[in-house]
Amino acid sequence: MERVVIIGAGHAGVELANALRQSAFAGSIALVNDETDLPYQKPPLSKDFLKGDGRNPLMLKADVFYTQNDITLMRGRRVASIDRAAKTVRLDSGEDLPYDHLALALGARNRRLALPGADHPDVLELRTLADTQRILARLPALGRVAIIGGGFIGLEIAACLRGKQIDVDILEIADCLMGRAVSTPISSYFRSLHEAMGANIHFGAQARSIEHGADSVHLHLAGGGSLTADAVLIAAGVVPNIELAAAAGLATGNGILVDEHLLTSDPSISALGDCVAFPCVHAGGVARLESVQNAVDQARTIAKRLTGTPQPYTSLPWFWSNQGTARLQIAGLGAGHDSAILRGDVEAHKFSVFLYRGDRLICVESVNSPGDHLAARKLIEKNVPVPPEIAARADVDLKSLIA
In angstroms, rounded to a whole number, what is the distance separating the alpha carbons of residues 295 and 303? Answer: 12
In angstroms, rounded to a whole number, what is the distance separating the alpha carbons of residues 287 and 204? Answer: 27
Minimal distance in Å, beta carbon 202 to ligand FAD? 22
**Which of 6, 24, 3 lies closest to 15, judged by CA?**
6
Q: Name residue 141's amino acid.
A: A
- Tell me what percent of the chain is helix, strand and coil, each rounded to the nearest 5: 25, 30, 40
Nearer to ligand FAD, 153 or 341 (CB): 153
Nearer to ligand FAD, 15 or 172 (CB): 15
Minimal distance in Å, beta carbon 350 to ligand FAD? 19
Minimal distance in Å, beta carbon 28 to ligand FAD? 18
Contact set with ligand FAD (CB under 6 A) = 7-13, 32-35, 42-43, 45-46, 78-79, 105-108, 126-127, 153, 241, 244, 273-274, 290-293, 295, 319-321
Nearer to ligand FAD, 40 or 356 (CB): 40
Nearer to ligand FAD, 135 or 232 (CB): 135
Give 83-89 contacts, CB < 8 A, sequence gap 24+: 83/248, 84/248, 84/249, 84/266, 84/268, 84/269, 87/268, 89/5, 89/7, 89/32
In angstroms, rounded to a whole number, what is the distance separating the alpha carbons of residues 277 and 259? Answer: 9
Task: Determine contact, residues 271/245, Cβ cutoff 8 Å.
Answer: yes
Task: Determine contact, residues 102/5, Cβ cutoff 8 Å.
Answer: yes
Nearer to ligand FAD, 158 or 391 (CB): 158
Tell me the residue length of the chain.
403
Nearer to ligand FAD, 31 or 341 (CB): 31
Minimal distance in Å, beta carbon 272 to ligand FAD? 7
Minimal distance in Å, beta carbon 82 to ligand FAD? 9
Nearer to ligand FAD, 13 or 150 (CB): 13
Q: Name residue 253's amino acid.
A: G
Nearer to ligand FAD, 278 or 356 (CB): 278
**Which of 231, 270, 246, 296 lies closest to 60, judged by CA?**
296
Nearer to ligand FAD, 294 or 307 (CB): 294
Minimal distance in Å, beta carbon 147 to ligand FAD? 13
| Non-local CB neighbours of 4 within 8 Å, separated by 6+ positions | 20, 25, 27, 28, 29, 30, 99, 100, 101, 102, 103, 306
Minimal distance in Å, beta carbon 221 to ligand FAD? 26
DSSP state, residue 50: H
Minimal distance in Å, beta carbon 189 to ligand FAD? 17
Task: Determine contact, residues 23/304, Cβ cutoff 8 Å.
Answer: yes
In angstroms, rounded to a whole number, what is the distance separating the alpha carbons of residues 68 and 219? Answer: 51
Q: What angle do CA 151, 152, 158 make, to 5 degrees?
A: 90
Minimal distance in Å, beta carbon 295 to ligand FAD? 4
Task: Determine contact, residues 271/105, Cβ cutoff 8 Å.
Answer: yes
Dihedral (CA of 386, 390, 392, 394) sign:
negative
Nearer to ligand FAD, 7 or 257 (CB): 7
Minimal distance in Å, beta carbon 77 to ligand FAD? 7
| Non-local CB neighbours of 250 within 8 Å, separated by 6+ positions | 256, 257, 264, 265, 266, 269, 271
